[in-house]
Amino acid sequence: MNPFVETAFESLQDIFAGFIESIPTILGGLVILFLTGYVAKAARGVAGRLGDRLFRSRSLQSLVQKTSFVTTWALGIILAAVVAAPGLTLGDIIASLSLGTVAIGFAFRNIAENFISGVILLWEEPFRIGDQIVLEGYEGTIQEINLRTTQIRTYQGEQILVPNSMVFTNAVTVRTASPHRRTDLAVGVDYNTALPEAAEILRRTVSEVDGVLAEPPLAVDLVNFGDSSIDFVIRYWTASEQRSVLDAQTRALIAIKKALDAAEIGIPYPIRTLYFFNQDGYNDDQPKH
């Protein structure tokens, strides 16, 4: 037999023999991975029940569940690697994880940023699931805060997935951060109106509107002498949810129009005065004498 072929054949025999010898350890590693899946699900369930008892925040409950799930899988993979490769030491695993972390960090920088931002958002909780927010031109209700994205359901029913890094680094307006929210409603009245009477009518009318809160109290302010009207701004408070704000505003507008009509107070519209001149005496081509 050719020496080269003989050497190659012996090498293949050694590789095959080594593979046969390692089958039990490989199977042991696969069994550990299989069991890790069940253990991770069980850990997530236990963490969920524990989080329900310890935290009122749904975001923190979600963070506890996801952290327990990911941690269980990480430990299971390390244990499976040790069983499948008995010669692998803890130092080798730590070195591999360190190099892998650096490589992943460079290759998936955006993913890492979103992940870290998601963890911080879940922990610090600047807003909660169910809050209504405004972010970078998007406005709606927080549906879910994941480790990568924040899901917003707009008032038009669209779902927006915003990367957590964008949420973390940009200004966010939380509409429902407090239970009350103020609306500034502008109303103009005719210049012939008795202003104290108009102010009292507006105050009484809006205070009786369903959805307008007694506390904090509303305010009626004169703000401007407009081109065709004297302008009031009625500042009243409602529940902070968008639907409550819009419903109260609609009812307030209807009530104000009805009350001003009953008091014979006009709500003027812009007026333009046009002046007509006889142009027969003018000639643009010749100087005027």
**Model confidence pLDDT, tens digit, residues 198-228:** 999 999 999 999 999 999 999 999 999 988 8
Among 47-56, 138-147, 163-172, the minimum mean pLDDT is found in 47-56
pLDDT band at 91 (very low <50, low <70, confident <90, very high): low
Alpha carbon separation from 150 to 50, 156, 158, 273 (Å, rounded): 24, 17, 14, 54
Count of CB atoms situated within 10 Å of the CB of 41: 12
pLDDT of residue 234: 96
As a whole number of angstroms, the distance between CA 193 and CA 49 comes to 64
Cα separation, 19 vs 84, in Å, equals 12
Q: Work out the average pLDDT over 263-279.
A: 74
Helix residue ranges, H only, 108-194: 109-124, 164-169
Q: Which pLDDT band, with edges at 50, 70 and 90, does 275 fall under?
A: low
Q: Say if residue 18's pLDDT is above 60.
A: no
Please write the tens of the pLDDT for every residue from 52-85.
777 666 666 777 777 788 888 888 887 777 776 6
Query: What 3-state class would DSSP assign to 5?
Result: helix
Question: Would you say the C-alpha torsion 75, 77, 78, 79 has a positive or negative sign?
Answer: positive
Distance CA 53, CA 47 (A): 10
pLDDT band for 102, please (50, 70, 90 cuts). low
pLDDT bin (cut points 50, 70, 90) of residue 97 is low
- Banded model confidence at residue 112, pLDDT cuts 50, 70, 90: confident
pLDDT interval class at 4 (50, 70, 90): low
Pairwise CA distance, residues 126 & 170, whole Å: 12
Task: Name which residue leads in pLDDT, 208 or 281.
Answer: 208
Pairing, β 138-145 against β 132-135:
antiparallel
- pLDDT confidence of 230, banded at 50, 70, 90? very high
Question: Tens digits of per-residue pLDDT, 38-56?
Answer: 888 888 888 878 777 776 6
Quick check: 240 and 176 in contact, CB under 8 A? yes
Candidate from 53-67, 94-108, 191-205, 238-252 with smallest mean pLDDT:
94-108
